Amino acid sequence: MFSIAYRMLGSVAEAEDVVQDAFVRMHTAASTGTQIESPEAFATTVTTRLAIDALRSARVRRERYVGPWLPEPWLTSGDEPAMRAETADTLSSAFLVVLETLSPLERAVFLLREVFQYDYEQITRIVERSEANCRQLMTRARRSVEERRPRFEPSREQRDRLAEEFLRACRTGDIDELERLLADDVMFHGDGGGQAPARRVPVTGSLQVARFLAGLVRYGDRLTVRYEFVHVNGAPGIAVHTDDGVVGVMSLIVADNRIQALHNVINPDKLQHLGPVGDITGGSGRTPGAAR
């Protein structure tokens, strides 16, 4: 249920609310004598319908969102059912950003069919649309996704090794090493949501991103931050902490043995599910280059 809701919404908090609401509805149905022949099918149906409604409301809010929107980081260990190899990449930050281009119904049909392997007969009952309509939604969604779908390094070990090299280079501020690990057309995206200072346009190019990262590290040194290697949405990443709590989570999109993109979430509203949230500004109200 959480796997469906999170992929639909890109928000841990909103997905947890949907799952909780779905459980309440299932319990209410059972307690009033409703015959539930398949609990799994019932759970999928209720969760998907609630997620579609929640996404319609969320899209209105995201139209007013300050700066780039990135999904809330979900720290994964790799052994959850949702992280099985055939679906792990559909949790990535880059993939969820692509899904944002779909309508709520397109997103639901695409996920149910492409990720969770439901047949069209099941999907029609879940989304309450005809099979012909569901096939049309799927065709449009697949075309849109394939045009933008990110590439991924197939080996988890290769991705982790590259991320660990990247983390060492960040800690030392080694611009040459950072540039070597980054793709020529790498893009750095920052999400502050108007709650924390972040660049509103991406930094592009290996040298520019390397220099920008080195500047962030120097700033972080003044705040005595700690860097932790983590898995974010099934991909390697870095969590940044101060003594007060987490201040940012960065996910690394890896392909062709280079880092193709970096998604950095510092919006404190999107970090609260990870525990206490620290102050990334150090009381100054801004970070280097944030407003550009």
Q: Are residues 20 and 54 in the same domain?
A: yes
Q: Are residues 169 and 60 in the same domain?
A: no
Local structure of residue 227 (DSSP, 8 states): E
Instruction: Judge whether 99 lies within some domain.
Output: yes
Tell whether the model's pLDDT for residue 82 goes beyond 60: no
- pLDDT tens-place string over residues 246-288: 999 999 999 888 999 999 999 999 999 999 999 877 554 444 4
How much is the pLDDT for 289?
A: 45
Per-residue confidence at 292, pLDDT binned at 50, 70, 90?
very low
- pLDDT tens-place string over residues 147-191: 988 777 668 888 899 999 999 999 888 999 999 999 999 999 999
- Determine the structural domain holding residue 169 and report its residue range: 156-274
- pLDDT tens-place string over residues 28-47: 988 888 778 888 999 999 99
Tell whether the model's pLDDT for residue 89 goes beyond 90: no
SS3 state of residue 94:
helix
Q: Are residues 199 and 219 in the same domain?
A: yes
Burial class, 85, CB count within 10 angstroms (exposed 0-12 / middle 13-18 / buried 19+): exposed
Instruction: Judge whether 190 lies within some domain.
Output: yes
Instruction: Judge whether 289 lies within some domain.
Output: no
Q: Are residues 192 and 260 in the same domain?
A: yes
Q: What is the CATH number of the domain that holds 177?
A: 3.10.450.50
Residue 239's H or E segment, with its range, is: strand 235-242
Q: Which residue has the tokens 């959850």?
A: 80
Instruction: Judge whether 53 lies within some domain.
Output: yes
Q: In this structure, are residues 41 and 1 in contact, taking their beta carbons and an 8 Å threshold?
A: no
Q: Are residues 128 and 198 in the same domain?
A: no
Instruction: Judge whether 284 lies within some domain.
Output: no
Q: Are residues 160 and 144 in the same domain?
A: no
What value does the mean pLDDT of the chain take?
89
Give which of 112, 136, 138, 143 is closest to 125, Cα–Cα: 112
Q: Which of 148, 167, 183 is the last residue of a domain?
A: 148
In DSSP terms, 203 is beta-bridged to 188
State how far the Cα of 81 lies from the Cα of 46, in Å rounded to an integer.
Answer: 20
Q: Are residues 26 and 132 in the same domain?
A: yes
Instruction: Judge whether 12 lies within some domain.
Output: yes
How much is the pLDDT for 81?
A: 56
Instruction: Judge whether 216 lies within some domain.
Output: yes
- How many separate domains does the chain show? 2
Give which of 210, 221, 220 is closest to 178, Cα–Cα: 210
Instruction: Judge whether 16 lies within some domain.
Output: yes
Q: What is the CATH number of the domain that holds 111?
A: 1.20.140.160
Q: Are residues 101 and 51 in the same domain?
A: yes
Q: Are residues 34 and 118 in the same domain?
A: yes
Q: Are residues 14 and 99 in the same domain?
A: yes
Per-residue confidence at 91, pLDDT binned at 50, 70, 90?
confident
